[in-house]
């Protein structure tokens, strides 16, 4: 594999224009390429008969069009599908497709592994290998779209797979540009959600640069509990995180989603719910309660359905919108916090 080839899906339109110019081609070729790659979802440059033969050859030898190789697919009893992709350097990542008619949601990964080591998350136990590049993020969506067929469109995107998207902010922002570009994949910002543990500085940047939805993995309403569950809370404690949330620029009608994982006996008591209500006053938000998905290597338990319902009830009594996430794909280890593709050692 020659190493000087460019990954064509790394480029938002402007950057593609610059690259096209740098190899001496006319600028309008960038839009043409963009339409082929994202409008038609081509898999080979041979499919672009309106590009001159010499240019096609140049693209064929000078670029990488398909950065991911699909090496596995599993389908769960609820229709959720998990995909395993191999990257050019041999690492494996996982992505998930969740049918919820009329929606079809793609859950994308942003890193190989994760550095944040949240105690309840299987991806966190893998450690961090590397960031995904823009092309590797965008191609997860394109590969999954091909897998379901072009007649059935993926409607929603969540960055809730492996990794912390805001720790990989350049690639994340570039991929958002490509996903949202009308000349690109054309997703509405209302249908794209980035989930974060709450890295404050890149959160502020995301708010300035992209209109997509924000979800914050909160999981505790006091610093002691949160720091025990999520070491990142020592760097960005709740006061700083909540201040950033209150200041987050949001068009009217948008709200921040707070994800709150429910762990039996740890953060699921009525007083935890009341503390959460207090913490979230003055933020335009909704709460998504996620009953813990257990794994033998993780030292937590899932709370009973009654205590989940009681927790939700306290939030709703306080006029806080609160839904319970039915995590999908648990039987194929595709549910929240269960993505942990085995990696090549390096
Ligand atoms: N790093 C980002 C993106 C991953 S999103 C973030 O943390 O927000 C994955 C979601 O699943 C997060 O809210 C995460 O806290 C949650 N999660 C992790 N492990 C889980 C588990 N075992 N059961 C249920 N949810 C879990």
User: Could you tell me if 33 and 91 are in contact, meaning their C-beta atoms sit under 8 angstroms apart?
Assistant: no
Does the CB atom of residue 160 touch ligand 1 within 6 A? yes
**Would you call 170 a catalytic residue per the annotation?**
no
* Residue 2 pLDDT greater than 80, yes or no: no
Does the CB atom of residue 139 touch ligand 1 within 6 A? no
Q: Whose CA is nearest to atom 18 of ligand 1?
A: 337
Does the CB atom of residue 292 touch ligand 1 within 6 A? yes
Mean pLDDT of the chain: 94
Does the CB atom of residue 263 touch ligand 1 within 6 A? no
Query: What average pLDDT does range 43-48 have in this prediction?
Result: 97
The per-residue pLDDT for range 107-165, each reduced to its tens digit, is 999 999 999 999 999 998 889 999 999 999 999 999 999 999 999 999 999 999 999 99
What's residue 12's pLDDT? Answer: 98
CA 195, 198, 203, 207 dihedral sign is positive
**pLDDT category, 63, cuts 50, 70, 90?**
very high
What's residue 231's pLDDT? Answer: 98
How many residues are present in the chain?
346
Q: Whose CA is nearest to atom 15 of ligand 1?
A: 217
Does the CB atom of residue 108 touch ligand 1 within 6 A? no
Q: Whose CA is nearest to atom 8 of ligand 1?
A: 196
**pLDDT category, 251, cuts 50, 70, 90?**
confident
What's residue 242's pLDDT? Answer: 98
* Residue 98 pLDDT greater than 90, yes or no: yes
What's residue 336's pLDDT? Answer: 82
* Residue 1 pLDDT greater than 80, yes or no: no
* 217 CA from centroid of ligand 1 (Å): 7
Does the CB atom of residue 293 touch ligand 1 within 6 A? yes
Q: Whose CA is nearest to atom 14 of ligand 1?
A: 337
What's residue 41's pLDDT? Answer: 97
**pLDDT category, 3, cuts 50, 70, 90?**
low
Please give the share of the chain, as a percent, with pLDDT higher than 70.
97
Q: Which of 98, 105, 115, 121 to mutate to test the pocket of ligand 1 (most atoms within 8 A of CB)?
A: 121
The per-residue pLDDT for range 186-223, each reduced to its tens digit, is 999 999 999 999 999 999 999 999 999 999 999 999 99
The per-residue pLDDT for range 68-90, each reduced to its tens digit, is 999 999 999 999 999 999 999 99
**Would you call 94 a catalytic residue per the annotation?**
yes
What's residue 344's pLDDT? Answer: 42
**pLDDT category, 346, cuts 50, 70, 90?**
very low
The per-residue pLDDT for range 218-243, each reduced to its tens digit, is 999 999 999 999 999 999 999 999 99
* Residue 303 pLDDT greater than 50, yes or no: yes
């Amino acid at each position: 594999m020659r190493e000087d080839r460019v990954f064509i899906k790394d480029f938002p339109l402007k950057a593609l224009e610059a690259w096209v110019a740098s190899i001496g081609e006319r600028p309008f070729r960038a839009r043409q390429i963009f339409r082929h790659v994202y409008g038609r979802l081509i898999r080979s440059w041979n499919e672009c008969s309106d590009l001159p033969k010499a240019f096609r050859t140049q693209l064929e030898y000078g670029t990488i069009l398909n950065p991911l190789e699909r090496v596995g697919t599993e389908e769960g009893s609820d229709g959720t599908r998990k995909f395993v992709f191999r990257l050019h350097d041999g690492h494996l990542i996982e992505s998930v497709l969740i049918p919820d008619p009329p929606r079809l949601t793609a859950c994308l990964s942003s890193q190989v592994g994760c550095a944040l080591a949240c105690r309840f998350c299987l991806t966190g136990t893998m450690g961090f290998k590397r960031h995904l590049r823009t092309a590797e993020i965008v191609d997860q969506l394109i590969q999954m779209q091909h897998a379901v067929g072009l007649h059935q469109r993926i409607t929603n995107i969540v960055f809730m797979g492996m990794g912390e998207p805001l720790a990989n902010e350049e690639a994340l922002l570039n991929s958002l540009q490509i996903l949202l570009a009308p000349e690109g994949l054309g997703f509405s910002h209302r249908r794209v959600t980035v989930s974060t543990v709450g890295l404050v500085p890149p959160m502020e940047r995301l708010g300035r640069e992209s209109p997509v939805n924000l979800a914050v993995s909160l999981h505790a309403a006091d610093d002691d509990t949160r720091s025990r569950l999520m070491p990142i809370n020592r760097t960005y404690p709740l006061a700083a995180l909540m201040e950033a949330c209150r200041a987050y620029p949001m068009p009217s009608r948008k709200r921040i989603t707070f994800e709150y994982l429910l762990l039996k006996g740890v953060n699921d008591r009525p007083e935890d719910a009341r503390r959460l209500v207090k913490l979230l006053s003055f933020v335009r938000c909704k709460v998504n309660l996620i009953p813990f998905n257990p794994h033998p290597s993780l030292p937590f338990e899932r709370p009973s359905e009654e205590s989940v319902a009681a927790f939700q009830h306290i939030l709703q009594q306080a006029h806080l919108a609160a839904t319970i996430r039915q995590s999908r794909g648990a039987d194929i280890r595709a549910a929240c916090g269960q993505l942990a593709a085995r990696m090549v050692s390096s």
